[in-house]
Amino acid sequence: MSKLIAPHGSDVLMPLYVSDSASRDKLLAEAATLSSVTVSSATAANAVMLGGGYFTPLTGYMNKANAISVAESMQTTDGLFWPTPVLNLINESAAAGVAAGSRITLKDPNVDGEPVLAVQQVESVESLSDAELESIAQHVYGTTDHEHPGVAEFMAQGNVLLSGPIEVLNFSYFEIEFPDTFRTAEQIRQSIESNGWNRVVAFQTRNPMHRAHEELCRMAMERLDADGLVIHMLLGKLKPGDIPALVRDACIRKMIDVYFPANSALVTGYGFDMLYAGPREALLHAVFRQNMGATHFIIGRDHAGVGDYYEPFEAQEIFDKIPAGALKIEMFMADHTAYSKKLDQVVMMREAPDHSKEDFVLLSGTAVREMLGKGIAPPPEFSRPEVAEILMDYYQSQA
């Protein structure tokens, strides 16, 4: 039996999903009698992550003091390491009538009919000034530029914070739309344990995996002597132009089926909206990979970045700035990987100092999208033909 890594800040995982059917029925009946708030997509995603245990040891949404403390110092007011605020932010009109000490129903904005997502015990109702919102954005995203998709989403939610513990009643659209892929941290821990894995590498992705990603996972497994790999894809909201989760899922499953040994990799996903917060989001990704039972996590070039807001290796360097022992999970720091024509294999570019740019198969995202849209498969050194076929079908269906 494998001995799993401990969750973050706790001896046990703390999923907030109400799994007992009698308790669920009682809570749903209560929810129907309470005042309700339709939350933002970001708040709904936080509820899903809290429900699944990914945000262990948090018990709900942070108050103003914790939001500011986490943004400024990456720790809560009681000293827990945490890299990004976990908030229920709403606008003033939605907050009218919500008082500290009340219980409210949180409704899901992403599912038709806005079903009950969770019940929250409201401990405080606090306002954030524009200056405080901008300060949080600056610390978390490194910018207040509204062209940054994460900043734009954050600033659009409202300025009233509803803090307090929640009880989660469902996992939004993720279980319905991705029944084979969506998994809670608890379920992934169970899979790791049943596989008997002790050293487990996690790989984060919001894109289909090309040859370079595939080989990077293989490199990490070999160098770390890992028993298994968990490919963990983001299933929530992305920025316009990103490839839909169902297409990514099909690509990744095909790659694993054809090119990985049986029972060496799990293909899973989680219900969260991308923050595009670069370094801070890399830390958050590490927290919930530890909570799901991974011992190692791959941090690549421009991890969780967008545009030119972050330096290429800023998301790796931030791990040197956090307190020793803040995380139990270990990082596998990766360089940009690409196919070497000289060596006839994928390598990390920093490990091939005798190469020039021309010695690698390098294609821009724009060039790849144009090729796929025209029904032209990228070279096999860049993309597996089976994966390229799925992507060609998708891009041609969009034409």
Give the tokens for residue 109: 């904005």
Q: What is the pLDDT of the chain when averaged over all its residues?
A: 95
* Structure confidence at residue 283 as a pLDDT band (50, 70, 90): very high
When divided into structural domains, the chain yields a total of 2
Question: What is the 3-class SS of 197-248, one letter each residue?
Answer: CCCEEEEEECCCCCHHHHHHHHHHHHHHCCCEEEEEEECCCCCCCCCCHHHH
Which one from 24, 103, 199, 206 is the annotated catalytic residue?
206
Give the model's pLDDT for residue 2: 62
Q: What is the CATH number of the domain that holds 247?
A: 3.40.50.620
Q: Would the pLDDT of 161 be above 60?
A: yes
Residue 6 counted as domain residue: no
pTM for the whole structure:
0.95
Q: What integer is the mean pLDDT of 298-306?
A: 94
Which one from 207, 218, 253, 369 is the annotated catalytic residue?
207
Which of 155, 175, 195 is at the close of a domain? 175
Amino acid letter at 42? A
- For residue 168, what is the DSSP state? E
Interacting residues of 23 by C-beta distance below 8 A, sequence separation 6+: none
| Cβ-based burial of 19 (10 A; exposed 0-12, middle 13-18, buried ≥19) | exposed
Residue 326 counted as domain residue: yes
Give the model's pLDDT for residue 3: 84
Residue 80 counted as domain residue: yes
Q: Would the pLDDT of 369 be above 90?
A: no
Task: Average the pLDDT over each of 117-131, 200-214, 231-245 and give the range with the smallest value.
Answer: 231-245
Interacting residues of 357 by C-beta distance below 8 A, sequence separation 6+: none
Catalytic residue flag (residue 253)? no
pLDDT digits (tens, 9 = 90+) for 33-60: 999 999 999 999 999 999 999 999 999 9
Give the model's pLDDT for residue 366: 82
Same domain, 126 and 203: no
Q: Which helix (H) or strand (E) holds 335?
A: none
Catalytic residue flag (residue 207)? yes
Beta strands in 66-191 (DSSP E): 89-90, 103-107, 116-121, 124-127, 160-168
Q: From CA 271, how far away is CA 115, in angstroms rounded?
A: 17
Same domain, 372 and 232: yes
Domain that holds residue 46: 21-175
Give the tokens for residue 269: 């996903």
- For residue 376, what is the DSSP state? -
